[in-house]
């Protein structure tokens, strides 16, 4: 671990911001600018396509492909972000696994509040299945709000009678719209990215008056996870959303789900975005890639620990 690297990342995230609420347009532009410098691996082939009636990016490795597909959901509080802003994450998972990935441009609030994002994510999964992809060769992954979508899309798929994907990887997932985790207060001032107030503003746009006390909005405290695939939850100790992951892991374990709770000290929200800058980011992505290659299987063959 590098204390100097962590200090540099924290200082960048703590740069002064405009006081008071910003317009949706300003929030989206600011996030796009923040994510633009993130390192995307060289050699990837990135194509604009459509998946489930929504625009999407299709990301292929520059080296030989392995059988497997990652359905990657970008972060952004269900209000901002895009497949492009998450390319450092999607691209690094593709480069490290040899799998291909689709990253759908799901609808955002406030123009399209809950449950539009879940509907689009489920539609993307249906499209993969309808195209003939085997669910044992598909993994869901995502960061922040997209990490939350990786879980709620599984809930929606199960409710719709669809088969479960092979695995879930969630980076700093948002899994509790009730905001009742102890870390919401214990990490206040420590988290360089979020505050309860900032989460409340974007959360209200997504909720649009919906009761947060329901599984599709707060799966960490309310969802029945019976039958879920293996899950890897990665989170940093400096996050107000830390307990979203710790409580989801406990809930998964109680439901008999294979789950790995991977907590890294002294790093911020979605620290994996800083691959190439922060040693902990590259190490976490290596662990995520290993998890995916262990669980995503070539249809019709036995599972292999490495390929």
Is residue 239 part of the annotated active site? The answer reads: yes
Identify the pLDDT of residue 306: 35
Residue with tokens 């059988």: 67
pLDDT in tens, 134-187: 999 999 999 999 999 999 999 999 999 999 999 999 999 999 999 999 999 999
Identify the pLDDT of residue 16: 57
Given a cut of 70, is residue 277 above it in pLDDT? yes
Q: Which of 269, 273, 280, 295 is catalytic?
A: 269
Given a cut of 70, is residue 1 above it in pLDDT? no
How, if at all, do strands 167-171 and 259-264 pair?
Answer: unpaired
Least confident of 20-34, 88-102, 209-223, 290-304: 290-304
pLDDT in tens, 23-76: 999 999 999 999 999 999 999 999 999 999 999 999 999 888 899 999 999 999
Is residue 112 part of the annotated active site? The answer reads: no
Given a cut of 60, is residue 304 above it in pLDDT? no
Are 153 and 73 contacting, i.e. CB atoms less than 8 angstroms apart?
A: yes
The H or E element spanning position 55 is strand 54-60
Is residue 119 part of the annotated active site? The answer reads: no
Q: Which of 144, 150, 172, 245 is catalytic?
A: 144
Identify the pLDDT of residue 17: 57
pTM for this prediction: 0.94
């Amino acid at each position: 671990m590098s204390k100097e690297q962590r200090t540099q990342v924290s200082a960048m995230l703590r740069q002064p911001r405009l006081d008071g609420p910003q317009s949706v347009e300003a929030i989206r532009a600011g996030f796009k600018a923040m994510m633009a410098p993130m390192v995307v691996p060289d050699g990837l082939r990135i194509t604009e396509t459509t998946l489930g009636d929504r625009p999407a990016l299709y990301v292929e490795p520059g080296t030989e492909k392995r059988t497997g597909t990652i359905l990657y959901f970008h972060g952004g509080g269900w209000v901002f972000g895009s497949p492009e802003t998450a390319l450092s994450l999607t691209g690094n998972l593709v480069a490290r696994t040899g799998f291909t990935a689709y990253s759908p441009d799901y609808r955002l609030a406030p123009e399209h509040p809950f449950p539009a994002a879940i509907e689009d994510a489920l539609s993307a999964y249906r499209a993969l299945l309808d195209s003939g992809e085997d669910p044992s060769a598909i993994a869901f992954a995502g960061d922040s709000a997209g990490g939350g979508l990786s879980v709620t899309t599984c809930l929606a798929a199960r409710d719709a009678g669809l088969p479960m994907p092979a695995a879930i990887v969630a980076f700093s997932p948002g899994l509790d719209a009730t905001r009742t985790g102890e870390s919401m207060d214990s990490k206040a001032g420590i988290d360089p990215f979020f505050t309860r107030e900032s989460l409340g503003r974007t959360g209200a746009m997504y909720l649009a008056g919906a009761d947060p006390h329901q599984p599709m909005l707060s799966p960490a405290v309310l969802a029945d996870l019976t039958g879920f695939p293996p899950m890897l939850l990665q989170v940093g100790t400096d996050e107000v959303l830390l307990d979203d992951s710790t409580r989801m892991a406990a809930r998964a374990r109680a439901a008999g789900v294979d789950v790995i709770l991977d907590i890294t000290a002294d790093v911020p929200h979605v620290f994996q975005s800083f691959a190439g800058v922060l040693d902990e980011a590259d190490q976490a992505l290596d662990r995520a890639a290993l998890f995916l290659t262990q669980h995503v299987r070539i249809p019709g063959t036995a599972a292999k620990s490495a390929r």
